[in-house]
């Protein structure tokens, strides 16, 4: 127990880094993933192809390999950013693929009649997506999106091996210096992860009830 | 778009994080393998000789000491020392199982019995003696700094204030910097090889660890890096083993002393680190 209390400041530093990685990457992935989802349901074949290609490529690449590209390979081709930003890019690119699929399944859950009705009153594809389809689709995708966010929170630990001092990295540092209290150190790390993921789950339940609507 | 080999070397280092090797090298050991040596029943030596195999933890990403290429077993001075000990137990080099031990997992791998001994640029210190015992030292290194060839503003650790230094989390060098040069900012990863690419790109200003490890990096990348300043610590490298196994520790110390006498130690050095560095005097083993 002392291990956690004595090093609360270190844990806190790691926790805030982990939280900001998760929130920033989550927000960016939500935007990128929604755009990609729109690509995948658009009437324009090249866009559909591009969306599908992105999802299949990124979704099937291990996250560590994505990190490897953003941390070691991007600087070689002249894109040099701090390690934290490399981590955000890697997590965003990776998570966006999953968001895209969630959005696509949400769009597919909206009745085809809705889209036809939108077209019959003269809305363009963009307008009907914005005003009719996506608002309904988002309600359906809240649960899978929260799942993705929880997975993302845990995935931020990969950044610990790539120079970002987040929770996992702090855990490794402490388990070295406090080799006799490793279980406590790791328990502390786990608790801080739960501090992010459990509220996310609660929020999901609330948002779902809020957005419930009759089909 | 020009990829350097180093990227892939770094990649392999990352990939190697989760791999461990077994199998055997074909090269000649520096000493003859003992024919059926005799040990007192019940000792670790007797068990290992009986099983005719030993599991040795070493680094897989440290040139000159323990470096595993794309295929096969690790090579380097630590690996040769491991083979020396195995040979005295009557174990052929091909019956050694090599396991990667990174800085952070060495004590736990010994405690859990996942490895019989660790020969992995392993600094002997009091905190570690709480958990494991050390035979040796078989070599004394010193911590120093690696910078880019053209760098002129870092000439020693006192110049690190406000600079970013890359090293491995959970290693002695990281703790040394935290304690003695708190002005320096640390970038931490899990293998020294990962530090080179950020150093090339200017994302970190220096890499710090033991001089011999850094020498390996200088040697591997001619004209890119240089070592600055005198070593500012003493790092005696020992061989980690289960705490309290005194008979085994004495045995390893005997093997080391014998190898100092009969030239096997010097030969192991010249085959590996000696291709780049001077041959030092072997240190006296510490039978604490």
pLDDT number for residue B27: 53
pLDDT number for residue B102: 87
Return the residue matching tokens 């041959």.
Answer: B279
With contact defined as beta carbons under 8 Å apart, do B285 and B257 qualify?
Answer: yes
Nearest to A36 by CA among A90, A97, A106: A97
Query: Can you tell me the distance from the alpha carbon of B128 to that of B111, in angstroms, rounded to the nearest whole number?
Result: 11
- B54-58, strands of its sheet edge to edge: B96-100, B54-58, B117-123, B235-242, B132-141
State yes or no: cis peptide before B137, omega within 30 of 0: yes
Determine whether the interchain pair B2/A163 forms a contact, defined as Cβ–Cβ distance below 8 Å. no
**Residues in B touching A83 (Cβ below 8 Å):** 187, 198, 203
Per-residue pLDDT 10s for chain B (288 aa) are 454 555 545 544 444 444 444 444 445 556 778 887 889 889 999 999 999 999 999 999 888 999 998 878 899 999 999 999 999 999 999 999 999 998 878 998 999 999 999 999 999 988 899 999 999 999 999 999 999 999 999 999 999 999 999 998 878 899 899 999 999 999 998 888 899 999 998 899 999 999 988 998 998 899 999 999 889 999 999 999 999 999 999 999 999 999 999 999 999 999 999 988 888 999 999 998
Question: Mutating which of A63, A176, A189 best tests the B interface, going by the most B Cβ atoms within 10 A?
Answer: A176
pLDDT number for residue B5: 52
φ, ψ at A56 (rounded to 5°): -65, -40
Q: Which residues are bridge partners to B145 per DSSP? A: B208, B228
**Residues in B touching A75 (Cβ below 8 Å):** 197-198, 201, 203
Contact partners, residue A161, CB within 8 Å, separation at least 6? A64, A67, A168, A169, B14, B17, B189, B190
Q: Where are the beta strands (DSSP E) in B169-231?
A: 185-189, 206-210, 225-228
What pTM does this model have? 0.74
| Average pLDDT across chain A, whole number | 90
Contact partners, residue A6, CB within 8 Å, separation at least 6? none
Nearest to A109 by CA among A131, A138, A129: A138
φ, ψ at A109 (rounded to 5°): -80, -15
Instruction: Say how far residue A58 (Cα) sits from the centre of its chain.
Output: 13
Contact partners, residue B253, CB within 8 Å, separation at least 6? B135, B136, B285, B287
Closest-CA distance, A150 to chain B, in angstroms, reads: 24
Determine whether the interchain pair A169/B169 forms a contact, defined as Cβ–Cβ distance below 8 Å. yes
Return the residue matching tokens 């000649």.
Answer: B28
Determine whether the interchain pair A175/B7 forms a contact, defined as Cβ–Cβ distance below 8 Å. no
Please, which pLDDT band fits residue A94 given cuts at 50, 70 and 90?
very high
Query: Can you tell me the distance from the alpha carbon of A28 to that of A94, in angstroms, rounded to the nearest whole number?
Result: 11
Q: How does pLDDT run across A99-121, given as a tens digit for each residue? A: 999 999 998 888 889 989 999 99
**Residues in A touching B110 (Cβ below 8 Å):** none
Which among A76, A82, A161 is the nearest to B7, CB-wise?
A76
**Residues in A touching B107 (Cβ below 8 Å):** 179
């Amino acid at each position: 127990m002392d291990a956690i209390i004595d090093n609360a400041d270190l844990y806190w530093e790691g926790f805030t880094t982990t939280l900001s990685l998760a929130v920033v990457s989550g927000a960016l992935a939500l935007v990128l993933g929604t755009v990609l989802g729109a690509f995948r349901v658009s009437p324009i074949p090249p866009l559909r192809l591009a969306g599908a290609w992105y999802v299949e490529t990124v979704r099937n690449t291990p996250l560590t390999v994505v990190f490897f590209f953003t941390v070691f390979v991007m600087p070689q081709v002249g894109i040099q950013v701090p390690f934290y930003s490399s981590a955000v890019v890697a997590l965003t690119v990776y998570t966006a693929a999953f968001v895209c699929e969630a959005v696509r399944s949400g769009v597919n859950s909206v009745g085809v009649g809705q889209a036809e009705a939108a077209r019959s009153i003269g809305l363009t594809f963009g307008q009907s997506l914005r005003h009719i389809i996506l608002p309904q689709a988002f309600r359906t995708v809240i649960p899978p999106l929260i799942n993705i966010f929880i997975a993302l929170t845990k995935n931020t630990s990969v950044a610990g091996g790539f120079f970002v001092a987040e929770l996992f990295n702090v855990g490794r540092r402490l388990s070295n210096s406090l080799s006799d209290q490793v279980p406590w150190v790791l328990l502390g790390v786990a608790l801080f992860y739960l501090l992010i993921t459990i509220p996310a789950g609660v929020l999901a339940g609330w948002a779902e009830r809020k957005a419930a609507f009759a089909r | 778009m020009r990829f350097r080999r180093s990227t892939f070397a770094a990649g392999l280092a990352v990939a190697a994080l989760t791999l461990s090797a077994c199998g055997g090298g074909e090269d000649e050991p520096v000493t003859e393998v003992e024919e059926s040596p005799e040990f007192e029943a019940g000792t670790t030596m007797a068990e290992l000789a009986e099983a005719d195999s030993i599991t040795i933890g070493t680094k897989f990403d440290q040139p000159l000491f323990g470096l595993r290429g794309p295929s096969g077993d690790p090579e380097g001075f630590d690996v040769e020392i491991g083979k020396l000990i195995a040979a005295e137990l009557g174990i052929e080099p091909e019956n050694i199982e090599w396991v990667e031990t990174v800085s952070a997992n060495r004590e736990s791998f010994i405690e859990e019995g996942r490895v019989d001994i660790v020969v992995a640029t392993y600094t002997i210190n009091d905190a570690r003696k709480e958990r494991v015992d050390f035979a040796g030292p078989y070599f004394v290194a010193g911590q120093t700094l690696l910078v880019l060839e053209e760098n002129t503003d870092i000439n020693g650790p006192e110049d690190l204030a406000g600079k970013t230094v890359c090293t491995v989390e959970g290693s002695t060098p990281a703790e040394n910097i935290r304690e003695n040069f708190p002005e320096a900012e640390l970038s931490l990863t899990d293998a020294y090889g990962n530090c080179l690419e950020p150093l090339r790109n200017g994302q970190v200003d220096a890499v710090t660890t033991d001089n011999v490890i850094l020498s390996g990096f200088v040697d591997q990348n001619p004209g890119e890096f240089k070592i600055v300043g005198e070593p500012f610590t003493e790092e005696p490298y020992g061989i980690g083993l289960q705490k309290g196994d005194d008979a085994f520790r004495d045995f390893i110390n005997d093997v080391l002393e014998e190898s100092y006498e009969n030239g096997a130690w010097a030969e192991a050095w010249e085959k590996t680190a000696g291709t780049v560095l001077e041959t030092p005097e072997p240190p006296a083993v510490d039978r604490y």
